[in-house]
Amino acid sequence: MEASRCLSVAVEEGVAVFSTGKMPDSEMTFIGASCQASAPPFTRELQSLQIKVPPGEKALVALAVRFLSSSGWKGKGTYQTKLYLIPTTWREKPGSEKEVLVVEMDKVFIPPSDRLIQLMSTYELVVTTEGQRFVVSRQWYAADAKERGEALREQGFRVVEDPNILLRFALGMASFEDLEAAASLDKRSQLERSLAFSLSLLQVAQEELYTAHCEAGWCQRVIEWLVQDRDDAREKIWQLSKTLSQAAEMLQTAPTTLFGSLPRKEIGKLKELFE
């Protein structure tokens, strides 16, 4: 299905605006572009998208359009997705020397023979050149990006993060060295993300260790307080015992006249109390 059956486009002064609406319940996913665009790569659920192409330059836009089709089972509507690589170029306007931007909605983009490009149903953009395959995927921006990147590498792909550079390379606006640099940048970014993740785990471990240390310190202080109270109690008991012993000794050695006025039975009770 040609792009013109799914999308409409308006062009003015080097700016092209793609819009949905030709198909029922349609929306657009912007995958990337070799030029400036109004949305970042892999933006979903768009109704319109703007691109700006400098005078005299070519551009290539990767889009996916999802719409409700009436050709489903038993006439029931089903959703379909169509993928498009749409080229643009500047051409001289008929009857005028002025060049205008032309969006070739129904033209099949044919890249140079040394750099093939493929837009996959999984929204993965793949460029094959010099026996190597470079890829960028929508999943690269998801939560499982690390696992997805590792899986692609195991399949022989070299993963880059920027789909726009693959589109520029397909147009001849970027070199193989640029792809090499992008793939190397991806490895560095992976290391940076891994380091950031490790640092976050280390910070959590440090916080847990600090909490455990504080709790251990609090427990130690409680133990010290209990030991101190025990020692204080022992000291008080020892002092009281010493006082009682001294009192008993005084009773044993005191002159009889000290208790002369007391009955003998009472004196005996006092001696028993302090002994």
Q: Please give the residue that has the higher pLDDT: either 167 or 198.
A: 167
User: What pLDDT is attached to residue 79?
Assistant: 86
pLDDT confidence band for 185 (50 / 70 / 90): low
Q: Is residue 206 part of a domain?
A: no
pTM of the model: 0.63
pLDDT tens for each residue of 88-103: 999 988 877 789 999 9
- Distant-in-sequence, close-in-space partners of 139: CB < 8 Å, separation ≥ 6: 122, 124, 145, 148
pLDDT tens for each residue of 24-42: 888 999 999 999 999 999 8
pLDDT confidence band for 5 (50 / 70 / 90): confident
pLDDT tens for each residue of 218-227: 777 777 777 7
Q: Is residue 203 part of a domain?
A: no
The average pLDDT across 219-244 equals: 76
The average pLDDT across 172-194 equals: 73
User: How many domains in the chain?
Assistant: 1
Q: Is residue 82 part of a domain?
A: yes
Q: Is residue 145 part of a domain?
A: yes
The answer, yes or no, to whether residue 198 has pLDDT greater than 90, is no
The answer, yes or no, to whether residue 71 has pLDDT greater than 80, is no
Structural domain span for residue 104: 3-174
The average pLDDT across 64-93 equals: 82
Average pLDDT, the chain: 80
Q: Is residue 232 part of a domain?
A: no
Q: Is residue 197 part of a domain?
A: no
The average pLDDT across 115-126 equals: 87
Q: Is residue 231 part of a domain?
A: no
The average pLDDT across 148-154 equals: 75
Q: Is residue 219 part of a domain?
A: no
